[in-house]
Amino acid sequence: MMKAAAMALVVVAAAFGSASPVSAHTGPGAIAVQATPNGLTVDYVTRVTFVGDGDPAEEATVTVSASRRNPDGTVDVVSPTTLTAKGDGIYTGSLIFPSSGTFALVVESVNPPARVEQSQAIFAFATTTTISAETRVPISDDIGNGLVLLLVAFIVVAVLAGGSISILLKRRKANNEV
């Protein structure tokens, strides 16, 4: 009888003792989201954990998507992207947004089930340069430089004119003496 009781105790201990931590991973998950905007592209780093014990969710499928309703009633939808697992419950990926504005962002996880909804503001500035058909010469804001150049030109003209007059007067005087 003692032997049967001891054997039952070993079977019960083995059953409870061999329970793996994975069995605790049956509940909902939690998602932490970090966004790094770069123009119309936003890079996401998420961490998915199990709520029950805080362990990282190593085998989750995580997607990120976005949408916004425009004033004219149309809806811009950013196609869902499946994030790439990096280990320790970390998942990364990027979304490319169609234009600037505020979008409703959704990050979802399967195994464990979790969902985060938040706003994503996109501030992208146009980098297109338009060149007009006419060419314009920029006018200097520094009037002093223009005045100096004008003064130098005036002095050069005055010296040349004075020299020319002096030469003419000497020739006339020489012609009158002969």
Rounded Cα gap, residues 163 and 154, in angstroms: 14
Distance between CA atoms of 46 and 97, rounded to whole angstroms?
A: 19
Q: What is the mean pLDDT of residues 41-45?
A: 96
Residues for the chain: how many in total? 178
Q: Transcribe 126-162 into DSSP letters.
A: -------SS--PPPPS-HHHHHHHHHHHHHHHHHHHH
The architecture CATH gives domain 26-122: Sandwich (2.60)
| pTM over the 0.75 mark | no
pLDDT tens for each residue of 68-119: 999 999 999 999 999 999 999 999 999 999 999 999 999 999 999 999 999 9
Domain residue limits, the chain: 26-122, 142-178
| Rg over CA atoms, the chain | 41
pLDDT tens column, 131-163: 444 444 444 445 555 555 556 666 777 777 777
Residue 58: partners with Cβ closer than 8 Å, 6 or more residues away: 85, 87, 88, 89
Name the token pair of 140.
Answer: 């200097």
